[in-house]
Chain A
Amino acid sequence: GAVVSQHPSRVICKSGTSVKIECRSLDFQATTMFWYRQFPKQSLMLMATSNEGSKATYEQGVEKDKFLINHASLTLSTLTVTSAHPEDSSFYICSVHRGPGQGPNIQYFGAGTRLSVL
């Protein structure tokens, strides 16, 4: 069964609105979650690393005020795209990483969220 639940799978919104994407770890506690962005026919680009109970670490060039990340519990991280614009339209994917001592050092990915901003 699914290890990671990502919701919603697709969202269409008007320019200027904010959109929240949820990423849930279903099978284990995830001290670290990652958020990626994927443009059509391109690879995944890491946006930020979400750490439970602390501020997210953003990759160079990613606006932290634009992409708000909250990792409030060991099983939930949220990504909020604030004041979305058409150029924010993309496929957003989260992944979860097991905490120390919880098993293999691999990431499990959500099914992704396709955001379309009109």
Chain B
Amino acid sequence: GNSVTQMEGPVTLSEEAFLTINCTYTATGYPSLFWYVQYPGEGLQLLLKATKADDKGSNKGFEATYRKETTSFHLEKGSVQVSDSAVYFCALSGDTDKLIFGTGTRLQVFP
């Protein structure tokens, strides 16, 4: 079945550091891929998405490229801020509308 694997956290960075959170997936067909962010005490917010191979999703300085050859959708940001501290979830959607989530990666950014 479909699944998502993402790196365990927490990821601890200093402000302005470069961020990478790895995400790989297993799926049949051609899934859509997503990154969601969850700030403390809140629900999930869609951060970015990509619907086909080689698409790059981007938002708020974050970006991720849909790599079919490596079945990956790694999240990157060139310079993180304290306000980026949150839990980041990689997810995929296959033939149905259901979302399958990774386990989440907690990012902690210190000034």
Contacts and interface: CB of A to CB of B under 8 A. Distances in A.
A108 interface: yes
Contact of B97 (A32, A110, A111): A32
User: Interface SS of chain B: helix, strand, loop or mixed?
Assistant: strand
A44 interface: yes
Interface string A91-118: 0010101000000011111111000000
Chain A interface: which size bin?
20 to 34
Contacts of A108: 46
B97 A105 contact: yes
B99 A107 contact: yes
Contacts of A42: 103-104
Given A97-B97, A112-B42, A112-B43, A106 B102 contact: no
Nearest to A32: B97
Interface string B81-111: 0000000010001000111011110100000
A113 to B, nearest CB: 9
Interface residues of B, number: 19
Nearest to A111: B43
A105 B43 contact: no
28 contacts: A4-B43, A6-B43, A32-B97, A34-B97, A41-B104, A41-B106, A42-B103, A43-B101, A43-B104, A44-B89, A44-B101, A46-B99, A49-B97, A49-B98, A93-B43, A95-B44, A95-B99, A97-B97, A105-B93, A105-B97, A106-B34, A106-B49, A107-B46, A107-B97, A107-B99, A108-B46, A109-B43, A112-B42
Given A43-B102, A44-B89, A112-B43, 5 more contacts: A6-B43, A42-B103, A43-B89, A44-B99, A95-B44
Interface of A: 4, 6, 32, 34, 41-44, 46, 49, 93, 95, 97, 105-112
